[in-house]
């Protein structure tokens, strides 16, 4: 029997990349999946594929708008009246991400899209999970949430550090309610967010990166862990780590 049969999972940023892969993996494991993102057509495409063998519902929203997030929460309550898993995955980056080009609008985009929206989603999930005395929250952060570097840009790094702090803070307070929070820190992943890098990433380089399906499999594993344990934090990086390779080249 699938390990997540009967579970309700809400996946944000579900129209592509890691969110899409997570939704497919959780549905394959038996969960009923709620798909949220900004673009309905992308969500409907993912739902169509899931609904061939599983169950998916589409609930579009701009997660930087707290009213829209609240509407998704209302939909979850009226339709299911429970929530077992939140994959807090939605995120964004911009081309003009460095200090010499950053603007206040760019900063707002990065903080709202990578941190504030995730916080809004947690406020929706917690009442369900507290009532159930059970729940798993999985946040997609980034290696940039632990290590300060130049590629992702300073505001993205700041926001992802905030996600890491949020997740550990949730475990400190919500462990008494049976709620587990995991922060997932992937290295370079071959997702559409790479298209927002100032320097294009060619296909042969993307092929050596972590793939979305790798992330989906890991998220499924975390979601299937027993209630009495929590994976506080987990890293996933490509074997051919471009940062390591560059360091070796300099050393040699």
Give per-residue pLDDT as tens, 145-157.
999 988 899 999 9
Residue ranges making up the domain that contains 239: 8-251
pLDDT over 80 (residue 52): yes
Instruction: Give the separation between CA 166 and CA 185, rounded to whole angstroms.
Output: 13
CATH number of domain containing 29 = 3.40.50.720
Q: Which pLDDT belongs to residue 155?
A: 97
81: left (phi over 0), alpha (psi -120 to 50) or beta: left
pLDDT over 80 (residue 133): yes
Give per-residue pLDDT as tens, 196-235.
777 777 788 888 888 999 999 999 999 999 999 999 999 9
Instruction: Give the separation between CA 123 and CA 178, rounded to whole angstroms.
Output: 16
Instruction: Give the separation between CA 139 and CA 168, rounded to whole angstroms.
Output: 11
pTM: 0.93
Q: Which pLDDT belongs to residue 251?
A: 60
- Partners of 140 in the beta sheet? 184
Average pLDDT score over the chain: 94
Other C-beta atoms lying within 10 Å of the C-beta of residue 169 = 11
Q: Which pLDDT belongs to residue 53?
A: 97
Answer yes or no: is 97 within a domain. Answer: yes
Answer yes or no: is 1 within a domain. Answer: no
More confident: 249 or 30: 30
Answer yes or no: is 147 within a domain. Answer: yes
For range 189-198, the mean pLDDT: 77
Instruction: Give the separation between CA 179 and CA 227, rounded to whole angstroms.
Output: 8
Give per-residue pLDDT as tens, 66-91.
999 999 999 999 999 999 999 999 99
pLDDT over 90 (residue 1): no
Answer yes or no: is 70 within a domain. Answer: yes
Give per-residue pLDDT as tens, 24-41.
999 999 999 999 999 999
The band of 240, judged by pLDDT with boundaries at 50, 70 and 90, is confident
Which residues are tagged catalytic? 156
* CA-wise closest residue to 145 among 134, 158, 126: 158
Answer yes or no: is 3 within a domain. Answer: no
For range 122-142, the mean pLDDT: 98
The Cα-based distances of 76 to 39, 49, 83, 179 in angstroms read 19, 21, 8, 18
Answer yes or no: is 137 within a domain. Answer: yes
Answer yes or no: is 2 within a domain. Answer: no
Domain count across the chain: 1
Answer yes or no: is 227 within a domain. Answer: yes
More confident: 189 or 184: 184
The band of 122, judged by pLDDT with boundaries at 50, 70 and 90, is very high
For range 129-143, the mean pLDDT: 97
């Amino acid at each position: 029997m699938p390990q997540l049969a009967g579970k309700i999972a809400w996946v944000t940023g579900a129209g592509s990349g890691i969110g899409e892969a997570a939704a497919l993996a959780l549905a394959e494991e038996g969960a009923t999946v709620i798909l949220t993102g900004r673009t309905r057509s992308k969500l409907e495409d993912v739902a169509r594929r899931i609904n061939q063998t599983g169950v998916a519902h589409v609930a579009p929203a701009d997660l930087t708008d707290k009213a829209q997030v609240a509407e998704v929460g209302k939909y979850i309550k009226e339709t299911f009246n429970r929530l077992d898993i939140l994959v807090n995955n939605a995120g964004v980056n911009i081309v003009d991400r460095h200090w010499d080009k950053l603007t206040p609008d760019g900063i707002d985009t990065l903080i709202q899209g990578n941190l504030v929206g995730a916080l809004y989603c947690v406020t929706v999930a917690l009442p369900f999970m507290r009532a159930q005395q059970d729940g798993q929250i999985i946040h997609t952060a980034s290696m940039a949430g632990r290590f300060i570097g130049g590629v992702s840009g300073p505001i993205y790094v700041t926001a992802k550090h905030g996600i890491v702090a949020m997740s550990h803070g949730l475990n400190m307070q919500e462990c008494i309610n049976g709620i587990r929070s995991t922060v997932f820190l992937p290295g370079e992943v071959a997702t559409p967010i790479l298209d927002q890098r100032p320097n294009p990433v060619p296909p042969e380089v993307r092929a050596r990166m972590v793939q979305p399906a790798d992330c989906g499999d890991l998220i499924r594993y975390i979601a299937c862990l027993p209630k009495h344990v929590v994976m506080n934090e987990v890293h996933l990086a490509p074997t051919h780590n471009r940062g390591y390779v560059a360091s070796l080249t300099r050393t040699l």
